[in-house]
Amino acid sequence: MSEPDADPTAAPTAGPIGNTVPASPPREAVRARLSVCLVFAIMGTTVGGWSARIPEVRREVGLGEAAWGLATTASVVGDFVALAVVTVLVGRVSLRRLSLAGAALILLNAPLMASASTTAVLLANLAIWGFAASLLSTPMNAQAAEVERRYGRPLLSTFHACFSFGLLGGGALGTLAAATDVTPGTQMAVSGGLLGALLVAWGRWLPEEASRPGAEGRLASRLRRRLTPQLVLLAAIAFLASYAEGAAGQWSALYATDVLGSGEAVAAAIYTGLTAAAALTRLVGDRLTGRLGHRSLLRLSLPTTALGMGVALAWPHPVVALVGFAVFGVGGACVLPTVFALAGRQPGLSPGEGVSVAIIGQWPGILLAGPCVGLLAEVWDLRAALLSLVVAVLAAALLSGRIAQ
């Protein structure tokens, strides 16, 4: 057992997965865990709060559906720039600084984005939002992997649960604010101020990854050494899983209204069921990882995800769709946390370097999900287009069999 004054960055001695009994974590590790939970919650709460007020913002700016869809692609510009910046800086710049910069920029930008009254202001703030979100994504997942290392047991699903519950909480707050005639900008400023105060108080606890010899090598060499077969494999799984998860979130409600002929209440219930099922599953995801191991959990989760979507599409009925999308949420909840956990523990690389490769795979999956399903729906119909999610998840399941133990 570790001494009370042991190095907090040292992982407890662990046996095989499922038999690990780590010592009680030191105070520094507990504080690091709380601070990383906070940045995940900041991301989720901001996304949820913004999503709930989109109709009002769109009406204020005066854009139709097609123009709005085109305008939201402005965030892609920011995403791309941040992805390039983080890929270069990770391993050379403090993870804490990157994480704090991303979280602070998200909180400062959200009220401005929600208060936009012209197209130009909206486009500028959407680009900043995309940059901030991508700037935060890699360091916060790398820090989650670092905290997991310090604890000596799986923790990634819990961190992603913080994002999911932040998403639900932000959406509920946005609904309440809309019902009480609080403007979107005011809502985002209040929630951002509260979260910002916590970030100021807890930000100094955000962990740094353990130093790695050779991190000061040439940039081209450092980038090449990340592209190991295992990390490329994990990036491919992240792409397929993100495509399926992103498309399900964007199209579940439309499937209810356009294919099933349901009303908006049923459509909202299906989307909420999907989101809530994923959030609740992530609460037990770390325990499942400890019992099954990362590869076995992926090989169980991915077919379950495909089964849920298959059921929802096979019998076009609101109740069946509600159950099917919920099963989809249960199956997919732990896939990306598991991929990031594996990416963050690759030999010879820091957690940030490994996670950055998985994020490079994830990003185009999220980006392409909505447009690809929309194009397929134009060619066939939405029900047939959503079969692409089943194909993507089954392909990821096949790839997961090649993950090293």
Q: Could you read off the pLDDT of 200-244 as tens digits, one per residue?
A: 999 999 998 765 544 455 544 566 778 899 999 999 999 999 999
In angstroms, how far apart are the furthest CA atoms of the chain? 64
Q: Residues 78, 126: contact at Cβ < 8 Å?
A: yes
What is the value of pTM for the model shown? Answer: 0.85
Collapse the DSSP code of 21 into the 3-class scheme (helix H, G, I; strand E, B; otherwise coil) and give the result: coil
- Confidence at 73, pLDDT banded by 50, 70, 90: confident
- Confidence at 64, pLDDT banded by 50, 70, 90: confident
pLDDT the model gives residue 147:
95
Tokens, residue 259:
């294919």
Q: What is the mean pLDDT of residues 183-210?
A: 94
CA 177 – CA 172 distance, rounded (Å) = 9
Q: What is the mean pLDDT of residues 345-370?
A: 91
Select from 397, 216, 183, 202 the least CA-distant residue to 304. Answer: 397
Average pLDDT in the chain: 88
Collapse the DSSP code of 93 into the 3-class scheme (helix H, G, I; strand E, B; otherwise coil) and give the result: strand
CATH annotation of 27-204: 1.20.1250.20
pLDDT the model gives residue 95:
92
Task: Among 65-74, 248-257, 312-321, 358-367, name the one with the lowest average pLDDT.
Answer: 65-74
Residue with tokens 């069999």: 401
pLDDT the model gives residue 91:
77
| Interval 1-27: pLDDT, tens | 333 333 333 334 333 344 444 567 889
Tokens, residue 213:
């010899």
CA 24 – CA 365 distance, rounded (Å) = 38
162 CA to centre of own chain: 10
Collapse the DSSP code of 211 into the 3-class scheme (helix H, G, I; strand E, B; otherwise coil) and give the result: coil
- Domain 27-204 matches domain 223-405 at the CATH topology level: yes
Domain locations in the chain as residue ranges: 27-204, 223-405
pLDDT the model gives residue 65:
63
Burial, 280: exposed, middle or buried (Cβ in 10 Å; 0-12, 13-18, 19+)? middle
Task: Among 86-95, 106-115, 348-357, name the one with the lowest average pLDDT.
Answer: 86-95
Q: 223-405, superfamily in CATH? A: MFS general substrate transporter like domains (1.20.1250.20)
Task: Among 91-95, 176-180, 228-232, 313-317, name the one with the lowest average pLDDT.
Answer: 91-95
Q: How much of the chain, in percent, has pLDDT values that exceed 70?
A: 90
- Whether residue 99 is predicted with pLDDT greater than 60 in this model: the reply is yes
Tokens, residue 273:
């069921």
pLDDT the model gives residue 337:
97
Beta-bridge mates of residue 93? 90
Distance spanning both ends of the chain, measured CA to CA? 26
pLDDT the model gives residue 10:
39
- Whether residue 327 is predicted with pLDDT greater than 90 in this model: the reply is yes
pLDDT the model gives residue 68:
75
- Number of neighbouring beta carbons within 10 Å of residue 160: 28
21/269: higher pLDDT: 269
